[in-house]
A and B are shown apart, each in its own frame.
Chain A
């Protein structure tokens, strides 16, 4: 069975500093990978996705992620965070044809001024 692990429940970081949010998955089949962002009391918005091709994926708001098949990881990075990046970030994986995404538990990004 597929699973997704987000290693940190919270990540505090100073404004304008770089950040990495970690995501590891387990799957026996080829996967598609997603990062979503959720602002307080709102729905989720897609940041970026990996379906195939280049392992470095660029998304919205200056975020990027790198797919590493050997380490089964899909870490999210941003070189310089802003206070507006304060949100919860979810990693998800889809590897089958059953229309389901498997979700990580989420990582709260806390920006310190």
Chain B
């Protein structure tokens, strides 16, 4: 079955540590996205990538980094510079710019 996988589902880290969240898709989509979700705030775009080896900052990129070395993969690193990293992180992909986005199951990150 085609889809998007995110791992792990739950992640705990100590303050000051970098952590990388995995996102893989087998839908052959060109575009991929990372969102952060906090209660009552909807989805906020962190980074997006339209094509391999290219990505753009979203609305809240500070304290995050990404790479897009393969079409299928778009990992997100939450660095120690992110002041409040505890949140639910969602990865998505789309075939074209105006088409629907398909979402992974999300990773809940808790920084202790």
A97 in the interface, Cβ–Cβ < 8 Å?
yes
**Residue numbers in A under 8 Å from B33 (CB-CB):** 99
Bound together, the chains give a CA A98 to CA B94 distance in angstroms of 12
A25 to chain B, nearest CB (A): 13
Bound together, the chains give a CA A43 to CA B43 distance in angstroms of 11
B7 to chain A, nearest CB (A): 13
Q: Of B14-22, B79-87, B101-109, which stretch is located at the interface?
A: B101-109
B40 touching A100, Cβ below 8 Å = no
B76 in the interface, Cβ–Cβ < 8 Å?
no
Interface residues on A, range: 20 to 34
In the complex, which residues 39-70 of chain A have their Cβ closer than 8 Å to any Cβ of chain B?
41-46, 49, 51
A105 to chain B, nearest CB (A): 4
A94 touching B98, Cβ below 8 Å = yes
Given A43-B90, A99-B31, A99-B48, do A49 and B43 touch, yes or no (CB 8 Å)? no
Query: Could you tell me how many residues of chain B have their Cβ less than 8 Å away from some Cβ of chain A?
Result: 27
B60 to chain A, nearest CB (A): 13
B97 in the interface, Cβ–Cβ < 8 Å?
yes
Bound together, the chains give a CA A26 to CA B76 distance in angstroms of 31
B40 touching A105, Cβ below 8 Å = yes
B45 in the interface, Cβ–Cβ < 8 Å?
yes
A9 in the interface, Cβ–Cβ < 8 Å?
yes
In the complex, what residue of chain B is closest to A101 when comparing beta carbons? B101
B100 touching A41, Cβ below 8 Å = no
A40 to chain B, nearest CB (A): 11
> Which residues in A have some Cβ–Cβ distance to B below 8 Å?
9, 32, 34, 36, 41-46, 49, 51, 90, 94, 96-101, 103-106
Query: Which 5 residue pairs of A and B lie closest in terms of their CB atoms, listed nearest first?
Result: A43-B103, A105-B42, A44-B103, A99-B97, A103-B43
> Which residues in B have some Cβ–Cβ distance to A below 8 Å?
4, 6, 31, 33, 40-45, 48, 50, 58, 88, 90, 92, 94, 97-98, 100-106, 108
